[in-house]
Structure 1
Amino acid sequence: MAKILIAEDEPDIRDLVKFTLSYAGHEVVAVGNGAEAVEAARIEQPDLILMDVRMPRMTGYEACAAMKADPLTSDIPVVFLSAKGQEAEIQTGLEMGAAEYLLKPFAPMELSQRVNELLQKFGKL
């Protein structure tokens, strides 16, 4: 299957997403903040990045912008996972280069299905 990077500062959510996607057969790398996500993306070269918006050290928006500015990571699709569903938040995420914006909470099966759809869309499956 695919290699997926998860950047989420809440350990319970990070563990749930990691478990869900690992169970679906994906290789999952998980980090706890935006700065770690930028570094891990360069090293791991994942097929897809799932990232929270509000994180310490570097927000998801800042991390996404840094990844899109780096030739090593600019082509990796970034998907924001956030409880912040206001139109302005979603628009900001898309302007930073995100491919998609998924709202929390989500059912594990729903997340797994959506991730597979995105991987197919970007030719990663």
Structure 2
Amino acid sequence: MRIDLVALVVDEYDPAIEFFTGVLGFELVEDTPALTNDGRPKRWVVVRPPGGGTGLLLARADGERQKAVVGDQAAGRVGFFQWVDDFDAAYERMVAAGVRFVSEPRDEPYGRVAVFLDIAGNRWDLLGEADG
């Protein structure tokens, strides 16, 4: 058993695809036209970390209730976690790409961590091996 996808509500598909692929380095694995339950057009957009793993279903907000959670899916908590092999390189690349970090990198018992915001404003932990 595994978790295959987690839905992430976004304002628009294309800027979200660009952020996750161009900035975070995810791979676009699917972008297929689809229909809502009531027949309106939408897209089925999936991005995944290189090499697989749990993917994100980038779901465009549909209606006021969904628009209200864009950027606040975890109610202000860190709700997403990205592990990288080279923390310092990933951090520097993301800073150069304009990613907004809300905490400086620090060492914790579980490794190196810094909190950043995705394109919508959701909080993520960037995680890697501890220095030393």
Given the two structures, how large is their TM-score scaled by the length of structure 2?
0.30
For the pair shown, the structure with the greater C-alpha radius of gyration is 2
Structure in which a larger fraction of residues adopt helix: 1
Structure in which a larger fraction of residues adopt strand: 2
